[in-house]
Structure 1
Amino acid sequence: MSKVLKLNPLYMEKIWGYEKWILSTHKNGISFVDSDQRNLLECIGRELPILIKEIKANNNLSVQVHPSDDYANKYENDFGKTECWYVLDADKDATLICGLKDGVTKEDFKNALECSNVEGLLKRINVKVGDMIYIPAGTVHAVEGGIKILEIQQCSDVTYRIYDWGRDREVHIDKALDVINFNSDVNYGRIENFTRLESPYFIVEKLIIDGEYIDHCGDNYCVYICLNGSGTITMEKNGNAISISELDTIYISQNIGCKINGSIEVLKVVDKITLN
């Protein structure tokens, strides 16, 4: 059944800030539809293979890594987690941790963990509003304080915490060492002059619209997230119009045409692997 839904997030307070699960059918947190807070999973009748969050970091998140599908399926009864971050807001000189310094081996990293000297092996990058950072499974990473991002990821909630800045929380060193990719040739990090990212799991495009834009979701559903401005999304078949403004999120099921009007900047997210 065709669906066009305006979403409401599930809010989660964290010790470092907050998360809003904007689009989620995961068992650990399901987002809502419209002002009446209907359950998204019940509305669409199936799980979605991607999950989208807004993350606000007042302080550093833990240094962590996510497993691949094979490892997560075997040990966690969940999917792996490849993700990307679109920077919505960032303090001056804000940084993120994305990967390890060149040449770091598994033995180097294990020794650094045992000596509480892991910070010296982490690769930091400066970020600003509008940057896109690609984090495939196996990449060591952390969002640092003073940053707000949109995170587009596989529908998974598996995280292996490596280092937590002195906070007394559980770490998962053995599993982390199993899944970290120490190959420096792996493609990850900032996408310069971002307009489009295609991963094995999702496509993310930035659209800047001034006037009218006609689009069509193909065999897989798509999601529009308003970054700036305001406008309307009008459905091709019935002419129904939905207003959108900053951080509004619209889910559109397969094979639906639409027209976006306004002065507006959006992220369009397209699922590449539809779950049956």
Structure 2
Amino acid sequence: MLYPLKFHPILKKKIWGGERLSYKSEQHEESIGESWEISAVEDNISVVSNGILADNDLQELIEVYMGDLVGDRVYEKFGVEFPLLIKYIDANDDLSIQVHPDDETAKERHNAYGKTEMWYIADAEKDASLIMGFNKETDKAEYLQALHSNRLMDILNTEKVKKGDSFFIPAGLVHAIGKGCYIAEIQQTSDITYRIYDYNRKDAEGHTRELHTDLATDVIDYHYHPKHKVDYTPHDNKSVQLVKCPYFTTNLLVFDRDIEKEYVHLDSFVIYMCIQGKFTISTGECEPVMVNKGETVLVPACFKNVTLYPDEVSRVLEIYVEE
């Protein structure tokens, strides 16, 4: 029998990682840069941590439960490959500047999906920032000239961020996470990244990191986009849409009372990322599941009515796939 599923986090140690994710490690390791909460990336398949299905991986469950787990339409399109990768990212240093290909290019080059994503700033240090696109209209020639003359930063757009900000990053948008950002990331199932600049940093052996200049140049969106931050107004005890795109819809839900959610017209799983507080989720058909701050839970598509019971004020990202 299906029920709301939690998974063991897949922790990624990074040279730029911080301490915010150390609590997810049994050894309380530091320098954990990413926690992959739900993943179907090859060699990184999430494994269930709760209930009678514990120790089964996500792909095995989709093979057995198919549309009951992910939604009939989602299963028809993606088969046993779960379509989203859900992460937390803790940046204790500036990450490299990068870009991702779209579906068409990724299919042609890598036989994989492209990578469109979004970020929700779960926390941020004072003066933390992101790089998002260009600060003016540019083109390939100007970009390459700036890159090769070490002036790339002169034409990139920097955005100061604070807790609660949200950003949409379509494939082709040059971007980077800055030091001091703690981010919830929702993206297509893809691990394809083209690194275009890494501040000329060197490792302990004196080597610079590999760049993917040739691959990146043809997928970059060189247009100037004046706005990247998502406009939204929080509304207590009601889901507020942050991003809706062909790959995912993400809402913010801040609640301090019981919330009944109805998904009768939604042919999709629902994911809750608990950014703040804690709550219990009940389907009325199985044992309630407690979701603590920093945890992520997947509600199978077969459950069309769920109730969320907060223990305190809770801030949750609600994620699903629409037509």
The answer, yes or no, to whether TM exceeds 0.5 is: yes
Matched, 1:250 2:297: yes
Counting only pairs closer than 5 Å after superposition, residues 105-254 of structure 1 correspond to structure 2 as 105-167=139-201, 168-184=208-224, 189-193=228-232, 195-196=240-241, 197-217=243-263, 218-236=266-284, 238-254=285-301
What's 2:38 paired with? 23
**SS of residue matched to 1:92:** coil
Cα offset, 1:41, TM superposition: 2.3
Q: Quick one: distance in 1 between partners of 2:291 and 2:3?
A: 17
**SS of residue matched to 1:70:** helix
The one of 83, 86, 102 equivalent to 2:120 is 86
Q: Compared with structure 1, are the counterparts of its residues 65 and 28 closer, same or farther at alpha carbon in structure 2 (3 Å cutoff)? A: farther
Q: Compared with structure 1, are the counterparts of its residues 62 and 39 closer, same or farther at alpha carbon in structure 2 (3 Å cutoff)? A: same
| Larger fraction in strand | 1
TM-score by length of 2: 0.80
Q: Quick one: distance in 1 between partners of 2:93 and 2:56?
A: 32
Cα RMSD, aligned residues only? 1.7
Cα offset, 1:146, TM superposition: 1.0
**Farther-moved stretch of structure 1 (35-44 vs 248-257):** 35-44
Q: Quick one: distance in 2 between partners of 1:140 and 1:6?
A: 33
Cα offset, 1:78, TM superposition: 0.9
**Farther-moved stretch of structure 1 (168-177 vs 62-71):** 168-177
Moved over 6 A (4+): none
What's 2:320 paired with? 270
Percent sequence identity over aligned pairs: 37
What's 1:8 paired with? 8
Q: Quick one: distance in 1 between partners of 2:114 and 2:151?
A: 28
Q: Compared with structure 1, are the counterparts of its residues 78 and 188 closer, same or farther at alpha carbon in structure 2 (3 Å cutoff)? A: farther
Contact 1:64–1:141 (Cα < 8 Å) also in 2 = yes
Question: How many correspondences in the alignment?
Answer: 271
Matched, 1:42 2:60: yes
Contact 1:50–1:271 (Cα < 8 Å) also in 2 = no
TM-score by length of 1: 0.93
Cα offset, 1:183, TM superposition: 2.5
Cα offsets for 1:141-178 (capped at 9, x unmatched): 00011111011000001000000111311111111111
Q: List alignment gaps of at least 5 residues for structure 1.
A: none
Q: Quick one: distance in 2 between partners of 1:216 and 1:26?
A: 30
Cα offset, 1:239, TM superposition: 4.3
Q: Quick one: distance in 2 between partners of 1:272 and 1:179?
A: 26
Letter in 2 for 1:265: R
Contact 2:138–2:223 (Cα < 8 Å) also in 1 = no
Q: Quick one: distance in 2 between partners of 1:239 and 1:29?
A: 28
Q: Quick one: distance in 2 between partners of 1:93 and 1:38?
A: 42
